[in-house]
Homo-oligomer: A and B are copies of this chain.
């Protein structure tokens, strides 16, 4: 690693523009952020993927390696990614910093406390919860219905025992007893708010609009009604500044914000993406899950809200994952006789390519090569792309770092140069909520129709009354299938999506449509990763990967 001051210098940031967190991490100061706003913006490249499978696609790895590749080509490029949650780190190791030679460093810090953003968000979330319960205890002036408090507490941990709890027990001096529950921090609306806010002022405005409960007249009660948006903003004043780190190849990376990709929009912060685009000519950024969720939300929620539009979209696919979409179980992926499955599975990729095209955006396919892929399989996929007239490139960034992404980078540069970019959202905000959901189901998922539960229908009437109908939709759907049934891989047809409930995230500025069960507080496995973690006497982390 190079000192982060040196990395910063290469993108025109002086030491006084940074707030250092050790030698290899820094936040960018408010002064620098304000100064940069007048600069011209570079081009955004959005990295998304086919529907994820247990075989692994390597979207983050491709994002990192692509940034490195652009720099190897002499282009001024930056990476803008989400920051990971500590919960999964202690549970089943995932690793959200890329992999192999395409990684963001310092890996240990980023996967542990990093610069404290998650902790600040947890604190703001839970301070709000304490203030709500204190309001009940101190006379309940706002007439909050204690059965209709929707604001939950959070922990940045996997802790299933906290999913459903009763708080306020122990008698009249210990609070008002009521049902409550904890989510993991990345599921907090405050995370989504922080990631969509353009600056401190916008952050405070959005925080004030968060609905925390309903009163005895069933009207929404907001953070603004409680009068604590100032305190919450104060708790977030540093968390809102983007974090500068570097890749193994010294490409500058902003790792900032990490909202859930189901009940939230699953992209890193607007402030980080905007800042990166002011500092570099090319910004490589990613969105959670597959293109049906991550890219759709990036384009309908983040792009629309912040005016950030991609110059091109990369759809990452692997031979292994496509074979799984074609029906091959994971333990048989190494078998040769799966040419037919690959062809069937490609239908999943095809749908996502067409979705991106329907937004009017240029698309490039990244074939993230695994060592087990045969030349014939790769050839099959490359030929298919050629027939479909979609630019494609093989990436080998895990093994080779930026060098393994050069082909993709070149393909992107020529595509951005030559292809047309006529971005247009698939729905208008003025469409009704039902219409907006239907558009997503039919145009993005390729489904037949959408059904709304009786509860959902009742909510729509209320939302209309509260003036929430013109917000974009945030779909909470399984990431494994285009449909709402995780077992339907490949390219399912003729399916109907059922919306069982809506969840208003008015601070973030979207309406969540819940399909199926959504897990917002993971549990730990029988043998948690924590059992293997340690630190040596010099302070070096052990067992993190």
Contact = CB atoms under 8 A, between A and B. Distances in A.
Given A20-B21, A539-B237, A176 B200 contact: no
A400 interface: no
Contact of A137 (B155, B160, B167): B160
A271 interface: no
Contact of A30 (B112, B175, B539): B539
A526 B139 CA distance: 9
A20 B138 CA distance: 42
A542 B235 CA distance: 11
A174 interface: yes
Contacts of A533: 230-231, 234
Nearest to A168: B161
B163 A231 contact: no
A116 B157 CA distance: 16
Interface stretch (A123-131, A333-341, A389-397, A423-431): A123-131
B159 A130 contact: yes
Interface in A232-263: 233-235, 237-238
Interface string A114-128: 001001101100110
Interface string A147-172: 00000000111111111111111100
A543 interface: yes
B130 A161 contact: yes
A227 B531 contact: yes
Interface string A526-545: 10101111110111011110
A90 interface: yes
Contact of A90 (B19, B127, B173, B538): B127
B164 A127 contact: no
Contacts of A39: none
Given A127-B530, A133-B161, A542 B230 contact: yes
A42 to B, nearest CB: 25
A23 interface: yes
A134 interface: yes
Interface string A460-493: 0000000000000000000000000000000000
B130 A157 contact: yes
A55 interface: no
A465 to B, nearest CB: 29
Most chain B CB within a 10 A radius of its CB, from A175, A200, A543: A175
A399 interface: no
Given A231-B531, A524-B130, A537-B199, A161 B138 contact: no
A130 B199 CA distance: 35
Given A20-B21, A165-B166, A234-B535, A130 B116 contact: no
A22 interface: yes
A102 to B, nearest CB: 25
Nearest to A157: B130
Contacts of A167: 161-162, 165
A169 B164 CA distance: 5
Contacts of A228: 530-531
A112 to B, nearest CB: 7
A120 B532 CA distance: 19
Contacts of A139: 526
A86 interface: yes
Given A164-B170, A228-B531, A530-B228, A537 B201 contact: yes
A95 interface: no
Contacts of A516: none
Contacts of A230: 532-535, 542-543
Question: What are the 10 closest A-B residue pairs judged by CB atoms, nearest first?
Answer: A230-B534, A119-B119, A161-B175, A164-B170, A133-B161, A231-B530, A130-B159, A231-B533, A164-B169, A134-B524
25 contacts: A19-B21, A20-B23, A30-B538, A30-B539, A86-B123, A90-B231, A112-B234, A113-B123, A113-B235, A113-B238, A123-B157, A127-B530, A130-B155, A130-B161, A134-B161, A139-B526, A160-B174, A161-B167, A161-B174, A161-B176, A175-B523, A199-B537, A201-B537, A230-B542, A237-B539
